[in-house]
Structures are given as structure tokens and as C-alpha cells.
Structure 1
Amino acid sequence: MAAAGSIGVYKVVFAALGVLMVGTLVYTTVTDGSPFRPELLTPWMVATLIDFYVNVIAILTWVVYKEVNWINSIFWVVLLFCFGGSATCAYLVVKLSEIKPSGPFQDPLDLLFLRQGNLSQRKSSFVITGRIIFSILGAMMAAIVIYTVITDGLPFRKELLTPWMAATLLDFYINVFAISVWVAHKESNWISTAIWICLLICFGSITTCGYIVVQLFQVSYQDPIYHVLLNLHNKSLNTEQGRPPSIIPSISVKA
């Protein structure tokens, strides 16, 4: 279980990553010009951008679930699409700052992933839709990667690493790091955590979609959606051993 002090560490890490990403975008714009140039859209840049935005879709799905009202949801969705990893970091820092643990047995990171307000208001009525959408996105991304390898060769070539490709990859892996935090919190042991994170690093959004689909197949249609987000195996073990579960219906957050 994560200690309350880990919240402060995560805030510092994501704040630093957000500043790094903003600095990278500013520096690349100044030294290499605008990213909106046709010559930058090489086959592997296009594939990387699609990979990047599939991960963004996964993150913004969580954001829409987490936010209480649609105005906040739309605001953050627009920022995520426009600014990528820097917006992800900003959102996480804001939400980490709102966390106020309400009991000694409650994992502070549970409060990060859960929505504000009454948990019972959100059921996983869209489980089938989620399975279909993320299965399609994962298959589409796999097909794009295979097609690009066949038509343009492997991506491990020096000439592909332009300034904007480097900036895009940094942006991409900041989001991968954010998703990895969820995977590490969700998994029951370090072996499965290490395997999934290695797959995320190597295969990007293909792994993201695969992981989400696996989690969606592990819940029933009547389960609250937080069953997808949290490691309920550990919670049930705590209950069986006489310790209160760390999931509680009322979530305390700062106003």
C-alpha cells in the first residue's frame, strides 16, 4: 500500500515532467520552427502521433469518468488533445493536491483514481462499449505499426530522430509513465507489473488497449467502474484478514 508521503513524491515527479515537456516544446519550436509542416509527417511520425493519441484517449476516458461535471471534463479533454503529456501532468498534480486521506487503511492513490462524489452513481454499464472500442484501437494500432514497418522499414534509424520526433517521443513516454503508475497500483505483484510496464515501453498504446480490455473482461456489467481502476484482489485479502478495505463509498477531497 502506498504511504501518504508518496503523494508528495508523485506531485513533484509529475510537476517536473510537466515543466520538462513545456520547456521541450518551447525549445523545439524556437530551434526547429512550427510542428505544423507537411515535411515532418514521415510515415513513422504519423504512426507515432496515432500511438500517442490512442494513449491520450485512454487517459481522457479516465478524466471524463473522474470529473463531476461536463464543463471540467471538456476543459481537460481539450487540454489533453492540444498539449498531451504536459496537460496530463498538470491534471495529475491538481488531483494529487486535492487528496485528503480519510483513514489509516485507505491507500491515498485509490483516491486519485476514483471519481469525486458518490461511487455508486457510476456503474460499468459501458463495459461492452469499452471492450469494443479499445479492442478496435489496439488492433488498428498494431496494423499501423506492421504496415509502417513493411512500407518504411524499422524505426531505429538516425535520420528519423528529428527534433520534433524527439519531442513527440518524450511527450508519448510521459503519458506512458502516467499509465504505468496506474498499472503498478493495479497489479498484485511486481512480476506482472514489470512485464506490463516493459510491454508499455516497447509497444505503447497497443499494450495500453490490451491491458484495458483485459481489465474490462474481469468485471461484470453490474460492478462499479472503480473495479476496473483498483486492485480489488488486495482489498479483498485485507477484508478476509480482518483489516478494513481501502475502498470506501465516501471520498474526502479538498474543496
Structure 2
Amino acid sequence: MILTLRIFFIIVLLSMLAVTTWASKQIPLWKIPYETWTHPWWIATLFDAYWGFLTFYCWIVYKEVSWIARGAWFIAVLLLGNIAMAVYALIQLFKVPLNSRAEDVLLRRNP
């Protein structure tokens, strides 16, 4: 299970880095046409993405005991989205042995 999750989040991270790099080379984010920014589906997609980011962040708040770490991850998740989320998940997944259970990753460990 842990190996499968590691592979999954590595794929998420690499694909997000690849597509973000590709998109950035096509057109800078600040040059997206006004019609796109105001399109209802663009707005709905942003709401969907950011509510997903904040939902994942709830797990980070649970896992991290330091307010500094919580704040840093909050900024990272809001600015980098799935890239930051994949990095966080990989950090957690590489802290446990391969034969660990999912709850060993999901639950907070005693500091």
C-alpha cells in the first residue's frame, strides 16, 4: 500500500511539474485573457480546486503540531496546489517503512 501511494504521488508531482512548465512556456499566467478569468467554468473550477486544497490542508493541520509548519504549508498549498500537496504526501509516505499501514501515514504520531 505504501509503495503504491509513493508511486501515485510521485506521478502526481512529476505530471504537475511537467504540465505547469509546459503551460508556463506557452503563456505566462498573468497574460491569460480577461474572458478566461471571467468565464463561469473557470471560476467554478477555481472554487473546486481551492476547496479541495483546503480540505487536504485540514489533514495537514491535524498532522502538524507547529503553527509555523501549518502556516508554511498553508501558503505552499494555496500557491502551488497539487504540487505542494504531493510533496507533503511524499514526505509523510517516506517517513514510514514500506510495510506500514495507511493509518501510520494518516494519523498523527506522538512528537
TM-score, scaled relative to structure 1 = 0.41
2:4 matched to 1:129? Answer: yes
Per the alignment, residue 17 of structure 2 pairs with: 142
Q: RMSD over aligned Cα, in angstroms? A: 1.5
2:43 matched to 1:163? Answer: no
Contact between 1:199 and 1:207, CA under 8 Å: does it hold in 2?
Answer: yes
Per the alignment, residue 17 of structure 1 pairs with: none
- Higher relative CO (Cα under 8 Å, sequence separation at least 6) belongs to 2
Per the alignment, residue 61 of structure 1 pairs with: none
2:29 counterpart SS class: coil
Deviations 1:192-236 (A, max 9, x none): 1111111111111111111111100001123332111122034xx
1:233 counterpart SS class: coil
2:108 matched to 1:227? Answer: no
Structure 1 residue 152 displacement after superposition: 2.1
Deviations 1:83-111 (A, max 9, x none): xxxxxxxxxxxxxxxxxxxxxxxxxxxxx
Unmatched runs of 5 consecutive residues or more in structure 2: none
Percentage of pairs with the same residue:
29
Match of 2:80 among 203, 227, 233: 203
Give the helix-richer structure, 1 or 2: 2
2:110 counterpart SS class: helix
Once the two structures are overlaid, the 10-residue window that deviates more, 136-145 or 147-156, is 147-156
Deviations 1:138-189 (A, max 9, x none): 1111110111011122256433211110111001111111101000000121
Larger Rg: 1
TM-score, scaled relative to structure 2 = 0.89
Q: Residue 155 and residue 142 in structure 1: after superposition, are their counterparts in 2 closer, same or farther (change >3 A)?
A: farther
2:57 matched to 1:154? Answer: no
Contact between 1:131 and 1:213, CA under 8 Å: does it hold in 2?
Answer: yes
Distance 2:73 2:50 in 1: 14
Unmatched runs of 5 consecutive residues or more in structure 1: 1-125, 235-255
Distance 1:213 1:177 in 2: 18
Moved over 4 A (4+): none
